[in-house]
A = this chain, B = another copy of it.
Amino acid sequence: MLSISSVPLSNQLLAALPMIDRLHMLEASISVDLEFSEVLAERGEKIRYVYFPVGSFISLVEASDNETRIEVGMVGDEGMLGSSLILGIDVSPFHALVQGAGPALRMKAATFRKELARSAGLERSLKRYLYVVMGQLAQTAACTRFHLLEARLARWLLMTEDRAHGERFHVTHVFLAFMLGVRRVGITKAATSLQKQGLISYSRGNVTIVNRAGLEKVSCSCYQLDKKAYTAIMK
């Protein structure tokens, strides 16, 4: 099975709050287990819950035409799903689906908005997070346009490892093709190449990052840029 992380499970957004606010948030939410491929939000639909991943992670997916979808963002324990509620609109701008199963804290959208109004620290922190998400969206647009599939795949694997908190996770070529907006065959080719270079190994959906430093080298700069932006803004 999946490796159990030894890192204590928590959400970084919540962990950074002052004690009192953090307790409030924990009290107002319940712990749920997210299952792989579960749909947590649909574009244009009302947001019922927000989620703070705690080991699980979520993909933000944009659809243009029918059947052409692409991942535009990823949410792990460094973020939350539903941050657009800060803007006062309770309609989801994206599809959101669970990409890595695991626990998360769930809160009713209405409760979340009340907490936002109550705690200035929470609002400040989540505004900053939303800013980071915006940057990720733009980054992804450029990345998707200019970078070769192998580099994009490497970036995706690194981002996932960060959120899975372990060098092993489960994802098939079909799923990767969906996320990166390419054919399955394209993924097979790129993944084979990465494996031949000794950077990853995989079999029937079980991916292991073998050489992280090497993977960072073949990945596009977008990975580092994203990371830098996050730490710069969130402190």
Contact string against B for A residues 37-74, beta-carbon threshold 8 Å, 1 for contact and 0 otherwise? 00000000000000000000000101111001110100
A221 CA / B68 CA spacing, docked (Å):
12
Residue of B whose beta carbon sits closest to that of A225: B64
Q: How far is the CB of A37 from chain B (nearest CB, A)?
A: 20
A123-131, A194-202, A205-213: which lies at the interface: A123-131
A69 CB to nearest chain B CB (Å): 8
Cα of A169 to Cα of B139 in the assembled complex, Å: 29
Of the candidate stretches A14-22, A83-91, A104-112, the one touching chain B is A83-91
Is there an interface contact between B88 and A138, defined as CB atoms closer than 8 Å?
Answer: no
How far, in angstroms, from A93 to B65 measured CA to CA in the complex?
Answer: 28
One of B65, B72, B127, B221 near A141 (C-beta < 8 A): B72
B139 touches A64 (CB 8 A): yes
- The answer to whether B68 and A146 have CB atoms under 8 Å apart is yes
How many copies of the chain does the oligomer comprise? 2
Interface SS, A side: helix
Contact check, B72 vs A128: say whether CB atoms are below 8 A apart.
Answer: no
Which residue of B93, B128, B145, B147 is within 8 Å of A135 (Cβ)? Answer: B93
- Known A88-B127, A134-B134; further 17 A-B contacts with Cβ < 8 A: A62-B138, A62-B141, A64-B139, A64-B146, A64-B221, A64-B225, A65-B220, A68-B142, A70-B141, A70-B142, A70-B145, A87-B128, A89-B127, A93-B138, A133-B134, A144-B144, A146-B181
* Contact surface of A with B, Cβ cutoff 8 Å: 60, 62-65, 68-70, 72, 84, 86-89, 93-94, 124, 127-128, 130-131, 133-135, 137-147, 181, 220-222, 225, 233
